[in-house]
Amino acid sequence: MSFLSFPFPVSLKAPAVRALLLQLLSFVIVVAGVLLFWRAAGQVLPVWLLAILQGSIAATLTRWRAMASWWLPIQLFFAPALVLVFGWQLPSWIFLLAFLLMLGLYWSTYRTQVPLYLSGQRVWHAVNQLLPERPLRGIDIGSGLGGLVLDLARRRPDSRFFGIELAPLPWLFSWLRARLRGSSACFLRGDYQTLDFSSFDVVFAYLSPVAMPPLWAKFQAEMPVGALLVSYEFAIEEHPADEIHQPIKAGPYLYVWHKH
């Protein structure tokens, strides 16, 4: 059993923690290489070159461990970005501000593995076309900046639409947009996994591949017969969709499942 596949506690299995461990491993490899090169040639390589080397090793290890594709550029540019930023000699408060901003935007993405995705107006229109022509209750789980919920609330005044978002800043932005527009859209702050789906006719999701199997189980366990689960871009391999649409030419698909 290798070091990285050892059954650690759950917190150490989080993708962000695994990415950090790979960065630390690549740092150790680079330091070992620097020492060997110094002994052989009596020279020290430039810091920027070492940062690029570390990023390349970290990205290679990340690909080897089959982590999600968005981790590759993060791992590749993390060390070079640190060298570049520290070279600018910026005031320390800027780093704190950047950290707080990222925390407010992404919150517990390291745990949920669901980054902030934005769908766009053509997707909103396609979702509206899928909805039954009757009053209904729908919810966007991981509603981000609230665009879909606000659009559906405007198009379908006979229905009620909700959004739920865990990250504080996107939720606050959505809530303010709804209040300023006088919209009937309702935005909740929280984890959709703790929400009872039984009162909703439609659930829309733009999450990640990791989140789809648990979402399917929740859909089957809680939603009433005739309800819809709509997912943009991410399918569920074990459960083929009842409908597949492509809102944007050559873009991701929109998958629809009907509760039978």
13 pLDDT higher than 70: no
Q: What pLDDT, on the 0 to 100 scale, is given for residue 8?
A: 35
Domain 121-258, CATH: 3.40.50.150
β 228-232/254-258 pair status: antiparallel
Q: What pLDDT, on the 0 to 100 scale, is given for residue 237?
A: 87
Over the stretch 56-83, which tens digit does the pLDDT of each residue have? 999 999 888 877 666 788 888 888 888 8
Confidence band, pLDDT 50/70/90 cuts, at residue 1: very low
* Cβ contact 193:169 at 8 Å: no
d(C-alpha 83, C-alpha 45), whole Å:
14
SS3 105: helix
For residues 171-186, give the mean pLDDT: 95
- How far CA 77 is from CA of 21, 50, 66, 142, 239, in Å, comes to 16, 12, 18, 27, 37
Residue with tokens 């150790």: 28
For residues 178-189, give the mean pLDDT: 96
Q: What pLDDT, on the 0 to 100 scale, is given for residue 239?
A: 95
For residues 106-117, give the mean pLDDT: 52
79, two tokens: 């060390």
How far out from the chain centre does Cα 153 lie? 24
Of 23-27, 115-119, 189-193, 243-247, least confident by mean pLDDT is 115-119
Q: pTM (2 decimals)? A: 0.65
Q: Which of 48-57, 148-157, 233-242 has the highest mean pLDDT?
A: 148-157
Region(s) of the chain under CATH 3.40.50.150 = 121-258
Q: What pLDDT, on the 0 to 100 scale, is given for residue 158?
A: 95
